[in-house]
Amino acid sequence: YGKEWGHITSNFQIYTLLPPNITQETFDKQLEAYSKTHYPVSTRREERKNMLHPLKEVHFDTRFENLGDHVISRTTLNILSFIGVLIIIMASINFVNLSTAQAVGRSREVGVRKVLGSSRSQLFRQMMGETGLIVFISILISLTLAYLLLPYVKNFVSINEPLQLFSTSSALFIGMIFIAVTFLSGIYPSLILSGFKPAQVLKNKMTSAVLGGISIRRALVVLQFGISQVLIIGTIIAISQMNFVKNADIGFNKDAVFVINSNSDSALLSRQSAFKSSLLQVPGVKAVSYTSDVPSSDNNSSTNFAFDMKPDQDFNLFLKFADEDYFKTFGLQLMAGRGISRSDTMHEAVINETLLHSLGLKSPNEAIGKKIRIGRNAWLPVVGVVKDFKTNSLRETVKPLMISSFSNFYTVTAVKLHAADMVKAKAAVLSKWDEFFPEYANTNLFMDESINNFYQQENQLSGLYKIFAGLAIFISCLGLYGLVSFLAVQKTKEVGIRKVLGASVGNIVYLFSREFTILIAIAFAIAAPIAWYVMSDWLNNFEFKISIGAGVFILAIIISLIIAWITVGYKAMQAALANPVKSIRSE
């Protein structure tokens, strides 16, 4: 069941404990055979299929949102896990670049140790041990931070269940992370440093391993900025889509509508008329409507139906039951005819645009006066056609819909308030509820809050994208700084000679910036199609969505270039402002 009283359920759920010798596949076949025998398929083209669904999978299946209290898709978890792995890889790359950039400072140590008899394997083990120690300390710090930040993370992602940070599975996972990060971070610097020949090392001359003509360190920076640009592009697209969702025309007025959900029985129904009359006397209340459901929600029910005195259609019809003030309260727009009149039972119907087109009718006026029937109930005259409004979230298409009256299903009270008096009016409405229905519990929220809840997971994911993108940019800048530091050491003599020959500070800065601008351009060329593919797939979750235009990619490359230029410029300025005499003498 959902959190709210008015949540429509999938009728009922059956929980089955299978014997050890019966597999799910075997039981599914037996269940299907039983269903065909006792519940033959109807004459409609729609098929019915019964099967078991493992309870452990319900939490990850968004089709079961009204069964599970908190559902999250595996796709979302996989995306977050993948981003986490990318962040770890970026940090490892960072360590490699900074370690090799600082290799000059340790070159004499390596040379002296080799002269004194240390073998390459001994030096390799020593440096891998140092890397392991650094990773171990980092893990201790990260565990402390994780423990301190866990309550905030749980609040951010709306998890109320207790989480075990320290467990056997966590220990195994952390152990695997320790081994992987130590290996990724330490193998290359350890091989490079332990492989220097004493004569070369004591001359303070370092060489750069080359892969396909491109320095490994340069390739790693390209990889880092490629990852960060994928995250930047993804963040921009996610923010743009959520802004689109927030500002999209949903076809009705959601502002200042206060919604009260409760259960429904004969005692409550008998007081609804008096309660409504009393609410309309409250200052700040503009309109009141009873309904089975607000215009846009996940609480939808559907059924088979027939139209124009013909056999059942081959698609289902979605239903909402409401009183005569429903259209006024939510500002629904009629295309033809009128809204439903006051009645406690179904006696007339209003259909939406989508149903009109699904029935093959050309004009809204064609539907007026036609008869419609749900299930095996009485035929109802169609008295109006309402302009399409979003019946669900923007992830889904607008459903073919019929609105009729039926007071037995009125579990929702919708109150339209004056925007200027919302706080006082809300308090007054709840006070009236307690006066008329003191024995009935309720859940309540504003309509715009209800719609925002549709996209809670996307909003959380968008927020995490921002955090991860910021972290990726920061790590990329550190890696870039490490490579610039390495090149500054390599080009010390060149920079000194250029300055002696008249090069300005700007010329020196340009010398460094040009190369890294090219590296970032290469990273962008790799990242852009990957980001486009991944985010296009994510946008496919929405029926109504933005298009990914060139502006997204232009903004991403501009952000990356500005950040890179600032990072490179700082270190390049240091190299350019150094005394050229000392620079030349250093070699």
In a domain, 67, yes or no: no
Token output for 36: 């065909």
Residue 583 sits in the same domain as residue 513: yes
Instruction: Give the type of residue at 136.
Output: F
In a domain, 483, yes or no: yes
Q: Where are the beta strands (DSSP E) in 235-362?
A: 257-261, 285-291, 301-303, 305-307, 317-321, 334-337, 349-352
The pLDDT value recorded for residue 12 is: 61
Report yes or no: 472 and 410 within 8 Å, Cβ to Cβ. Answer: no
| CA dihedral sign, ordered 339, 340, 341, 347 | positive
Residue 299 sits in the same domain as residue 194: no
The boundaries of the domain holding residue 176 are 102-207
Annotate 403-419 with DSSP letters as a single string: EE--GGG--EEEEEE-G
The pLDDT value recorded for residue 414 is: 94
**pLDDT for 451-491, tens place per residue?**
887 777 777 777 887 888 888 888 888 777 777 776 776 66
Instruction: Give how many domains the chain has, as a whole number.
Output: 3
For residue 380, what are the β-bridge partners?
372
**pLDDT for 91-145, tens place per residue?**
888 787 777 766 666 666 777 777 777 787 888 888 888 889 999 999 999 889 8
Residue 203 sits in the same domain as residue 218: no
**Averaged pLDDT, groups of 10, the chain, 587 residues long:** 40 77 86 77 55 78 60 76 84 78 67 75 85 91 86 75 75 89 82 67 51 60 86 88 85 91 83 92 92 83 87 88 93 92 86 93 92 89 94 84 90 91 90 91 88 78 81 81 71 73 78 84 92 88 87 91 84 71 57
In a domain, 304, yes or no: yes
In a domain, 400, yes or no: yes
> HEC string of 18-32?
CCCCCCHHHHHHHHH
pTM metric for this prediction? 0.73
Residue 165 sits in the same domain as residue 308: no
Residue 112 sits in the same domain as residue 197: yes
The pLDDT value recorded for residue 524 is: 93
Residue 316 sits in the same domain as residue 422: yes
